[in-house]
Structure 1
Amino acid sequence: MSHPATSLAPGSGRFDLRMLLFSVYVPAFLMSVGQGAVLPIIPLYAKELGAAAGLAAAVVALRGVGTMTFDLPAGLAVARWGDKRTMVVGAFALSAVSLVAGLSSSVLQLAVAIFLLGGGMGIWVLTRLVYVSEVTPVAHRGRALAMLGGTNRVGTFIGPVIGGVLGQFVGLQSAFFLQGALAALAAVLMIFLVRDIPKHTADGEGEANLYRRLGATVVDNRRPFLTAGPAMIALQILRTGRQVLIPLWGDAIGLDVAVIGLIFGISSAIDMTMFYPVGLLMDRVGRKFAAVPSLLILSLSMALIPLTDSALTLTLVGLLSGIGNGLSTGLVMTLGADYSPPGNRGEFLGVWRLVGDIGTAAGPLVIGGITGVLTLGISAVATAGLGLAGAAVMAFLAAETLTKEAPDREEETGRSGAPP
């Protein structure tokens, strides 16, 4: 099921991806550099504060739990207050909480901060997705969102290297201070560069009616939630799994923080090179042609982690995981945008984000739970098994959302104007 994109400026000409450069891609780059800087630092900082490996993984999981907790409120906030206001609030909230995380003096304080950090990121990510979905025609959506994902990959390539160096020579908490500064800068840029989109609800619409709209959106779109949804949960488990397993396994085999950050950055470099070809693949061939190989390759990389015993072998596995992750660039966002009904886009994407974030939260929890009872290596193999199940669901149960009719209709309307 596909829905034509909503245009901000009907009849204003053909869509050009450069229209999104300053309103979307520059703020996204700043946010992703900050996020990348702290990703490999979170479990290591938790261990520095006294957490065991299993508890450190659980602290990482709280970031996903926080994002998941704020998904539905963020969707309702977009419907009531609009994209821009909600997006800026999320960025400023993330900035403030990053500073709190860097000042944490106990595992409990860090855990609360990481939970709220996930919430702020969730608000910003959802509103950004709604915004791009509104202004981008479906025929260009795979490339637009893959480029957004690619921008995140570039930041995630740079961020871990910077975070690793800061962690090694300044202190682990400095990575959080960097994230806070970059998020504040992104918020300021969005205040001046992002235009308002008309709200999806009237000012006087009550909260009860908003929740009725949310419930109706879930019921009316239950098929994608029940088919593509589980596959996206598996994909997110693999994505967060690599973020936890690579640093913890690197620490277990005696690598220092700077080397772990470098491995993370090298893996992200592969992601960074694949976003536009993957966008073309999704727009020209189909979304599933990127999704299924991504799930299979990521699963293989997780299964190989326990076989590594040096920086070289862990780097090679990191490269493989980078290829798998690169194939999924923009995939979750593209599927969500394809399925989302124009009149209820915020509510739908709030639920869609929640579905994916279940996987984001579950990945570290699964790893932490298995590691606490068994070993870190067994948790890596279990993560791979979940990924293989997701690949099967995506291949045989989920529908292909790219259709020839939807892009053709989109081009015929000529409604492709977008803000700068």
Structure 2
Amino acid sequence: MSAPAKVRLPAEIWVLIAAAFVIAIGFGLVAPVLPQYAREFGVGIAAASAIVSAFALMRLLFAPASGRLVQKLGERRVYLAGIMIVALSTGACALAQTYWQLLVLRSLGGIGSTMFTVSSMALIIRVSPPAARGRVSGVYSTSFLIGSLLGPLAGSSLAGFGLRAPFVIYMAALLVVCVIVFAGLRESPVLAPGNGAEPVEFTFRQGWAEPAYRAVLLSSFAGGIAVFGVRMAFVPLLVVETLHQEVGMAGVALTVFAAGNAAVLFASGRLSDRLGRKPFLIAGSVICALGTGALGFAPTLPWFFVASFIAGLGSGMFSPVQQAALADVIGSRARGGPVLAAFQMSADLGTVLGPIVIGWLAEHTSFGVGMAVTGAVLAVSAVVWVFTPEPSRIAHPDDPEHPDHAGDGIDPQCACDGSPDGKPVVRDGMVPAGRPSDYHRPQ
């Protein structure tokens, strides 16, 4: 059978992707200068680092409230409010007169950041065609990655304007994003009230009942530990203390990881719409596990770069696909703020705990053991996905019809896998949808 026709992405998707790109560039402007800016207030290294930790901690603590706000106020309002909070608090950082003022302002930025993150995921899910969820996640992740890479480069050109300039520029960029998103989504037929497709509330309890959601939380937690936590904390230490290289080589290793990421982000998301989520979630986690574990045993800098690139490839394979799997669980016609908040919290929790736990382990054993254990966490996530039903099989009564599910049988191109005897697959609390490859939640 011929391949299904390419699904055209709605204009709202491109608005959100453009906004994410600008936000990522702005964050890249601020992040490198923030610790040094804090040091200008006469504090030590630990206090300067606490500025970064305070932002992450407030993201973690405020995530449940952000999820509830999305449920009550809607995605657009929370998105715009979150961006405004980050914009104003970031701009105010340029006017800070004391360390404590800077700490409070960055903490407020963390609150706005989690509001933006949860609501942006909700918006992406609402406006993404079910048959293109992987492609949308891939494009969105790629735009954010490219923006994150360009941000520090742009920031280096602003060095002559002082450490406060990036905060002002980031504020201005965020205000532009607010205008773009407000104008781009104001007339959206998908998000407009009264369009006959008002979202229903999808609770955390409903999400937890899905094996795919539990697996998504685990893979998000594992990714938080390995990709955002341990990698960022350990790569500089490994380069300097184990390989005895200049600290600048750590930045090169991080860039090599990002290159591996960028090489597969878009393709993995798009192919998961055709081949299913599980192949990429399993293979990506295993590849990232191997690359991560190898970092601790790399004998030379070239081998370290190879391991970084392999870990980046694996991360690029599973990261966008797990977001598509999350969208499969929630569906396009549900508002799942608490479900999305828990997904974000799982990654943030891994980011916070990973460097602490693995750092303790490495201190009492070796860097190699610490990185091997980190890789093992990713491997456990892959094993769980092996025994988890394919997320893209989940059908929702109110979702637009998936083109691969047309007709009475199972399309061989479809990502869905039927039961061995060809009968409908019915889980606890599910009723058949009338086609062997689908199941629906009872309403």
TM-score higher than 0.5 = yes
Deviations 1:170-194, CA, capped at 9 Å, x for gaps? 7777665554443333223223222
Q: Within 2, Cα distance between the matches of 1:188 and 1:277?
A: 31
Q: Given the alignment of the two structures, is residue 50 of structure 1 paired with residue 44 of structure 2, yes or no?
A: yes
Q: Given the alignment of the two structures, is residue 390 of structure 1 paired with residue 369 of structure 2, yes or no?
A: no
Worse-superposed segment, 120-129 or 43-52: 43-52
Q: Within 2, Cα distance between the matches of 1:105 and 1:149?
A: 36
Counterpart of 2:222? 234
- 1:194-209 equivalent positions in 2, closer than 5 A: 194-195=185-186, 197-198=191-192
- 1:315-334 equivalent positions in 2, closer than 5 A: 315-334=305-324
Q: Given the alignment of the two structures, is residue 352 of structure 1 paired with residue 346 of structure 2, yes or no?
A: no
User: Relative to 1, partners in 2 of residues 1:379 and 1:96: Cα closer, same or farther, differing over 3 Å?
Assistant: farther
Deviations 1:58-89, CA, capped at 9 Å, x for gaps? 76554443222222222222222222221122
Counterpart of 1:136? 128
- 1:218 corresponds, among 204, 216, 221, to 204
Q: Secondary structure of the equivalent of 2:269?
A: helix
Q: Within 1, Cα distance between the matches of 2:280 and 2:22?
A: 26
Counterpart of 1:402? 392
Worse-superposed segment, 378-387 or 39-48: 39-48
Contact 1:80 1:199 in 2 (8 A): no
- 1:84 corresponds, among 66, 73, 76, to 76
How much identity, in percent, do the aligned residues show? 22
Worse-superposed segment, 66-75 or 91-100: 91-100
Contact 2:220 2:347 in 1 (8 A): yes
Contact 2:90 2:168 in 1 (8 A): yes
Worse-superposed segment, 21-30 or 135-144: 21-30
Q: How many angstroms does 1:26 deviate by?
A: 0.8
Q: Given the alignment of the two structures, is residue 158 of structure 1 paired with residue 150 of structure 2, yes or no?
A: yes
Contact 1:161 1:261 in 2 (8 A): no
Q: Which protein has the larger Cα radius of gyration, Structure 1 or Structure 2?
A: 2
Contact 1:61 1:363 in 2 (8 A): no
Worse-superposed segment, 188-197 or 121-130: 188-197
Q: Within 2, Cα distance between the matches of 1:254 and 1:101?
A: 35
Q: Given the alignment of the two structures, is residue 192 of structure 1 paired with residue 191 of structure 2, yes or no?
A: no
Contact 2:9 2:129 in 1 (8 A): no
Contact 1:57 1:244 in 2 (8 A): no
**Cα RMSD, aligned residues only:** 3.9
Q: Secondary structure of the equivalent of 1:255?
A: coil
Q: Within 1, Cα distance between the matches of 2:274 and 2:254?
A: 31
Q: How many angstroms does 1:167 deviate by?
A: 9.4
Q: Secondary structure of the equivalent of 2:296?
A: helix
Contact 1:41 1:167 in 2 (8 A): no
Q: Within 2, Cα distance between the matches of 1:110 and 1:376?
A: 34
Counterpart of 1:290? 280
Deviations 1:347-373, CA, capped at 9 Å, x for gaps? 432333333433233334434555676
Counterpart of 2:294? 304
Alignment TM-score, normalising by the size of structure 2:
0.71
Deviations 1:39-76, CA, capped at 9 Å, x for gaps? 56667878995336xx8887655444322222222222
Contact 2:133 2:273 in 1 (8 A): yes
Contact 2:29 2:154 in 1 (8 A): yes
Q: Secondary structure of the equivalent of 1:239?
A: helix
Paired amino acid for 2:354: G
User: Relative to 1, partners in 2 of residues 1:282 and 1:63: Cα closer, same or farther, differing over 3 Å?
Assistant: farther
User: Relative to 1, partners in 2 of residues 1:323 and 1:413: Cα closer, same or farther, differing over 3 Å?
Assistant: closer
Paired amino acid for 2:223: L
Contact 2:287 2:311 in 1 (8 A): yes
User: Relative to 1, partners in 2 of residues 1:42 and 1:81: Cα closer, same or farther, differing over 3 Å?
Assistant: same
Paired amino acid for 2:294: L
Q: Within 1, Cα distance between the matches of 2:330 and 2:18?
A: 25
Deviations 1:210-234, CA, capped at 9 Å, x for gaps? xxx98x8222232334343223211
Paired amino acid for 2:119: T
User: Relative to 1, partners in 2 of residues 1:194 and 1:229: Cα closer, same or farther, differing over 3 Å?
Assistant: same
Gaps of 5+ in 1: 1-13, 201-212, 415-420
Counterpart of 1:123? 115
Q: Secondary structure of the equivalent of 1:17?
A: coil
Q: Given the alignment of the two structures, is residue 243 of structure 1 paired with residue 232 of structure 2, yes or no?
A: yes
User: Relative to 1, partners in 2 of residues 1:100 and 1:311: Cα closer, same or farther, differing over 3 Å?
Assistant: farther
Q: How many angstroms does 1:294 deviate by?
A: 1.8
Q: How many angstroms does 1:401 deviate by?
A: 0.7
Worse-superposed segment, 216-225 or 295-304: 216-225
Contact 1:60 1:244 in 2 (8 A): no
Q: How many angstroms does 1:279 deviate by?
A: 1.7
User: Relative to 1, partners in 2 of residues 1:107 and 1:375: Cα closer, same or farther, differing over 3 Å?
Assistant: farther
Q: Within 1, Cα distance between the matches of 2:262 and 2:62?
A: 28
Q: Within 1, Cα distance between the matches of 2:403 and 2:344?
A: 28
Contact 1:97 1:113 in 2 (8 A): yes
Counterpart of 1:72? 64
Q: How many angstroms does 1:156 deviate by?
A: 2.4
Worse-superposed segment, 280-289 or 266-275: 266-275
User: Relative to 1, partners in 2 of residues 1:261 and 1:290: Cα closer, same or farther, differing over 3 Å?
Assistant: same
Counterpart of 2:259? 269
User: Relative to 1, partners in 2 of residues 1:181 and 1:237: Cα closer, same or farther, differing over 3 Å?
Assistant: farther
- 2:19 corresponds, among 24, 27, 41, to 27
Aligned pair count reads 383
Paired amino acid for 1:226: R
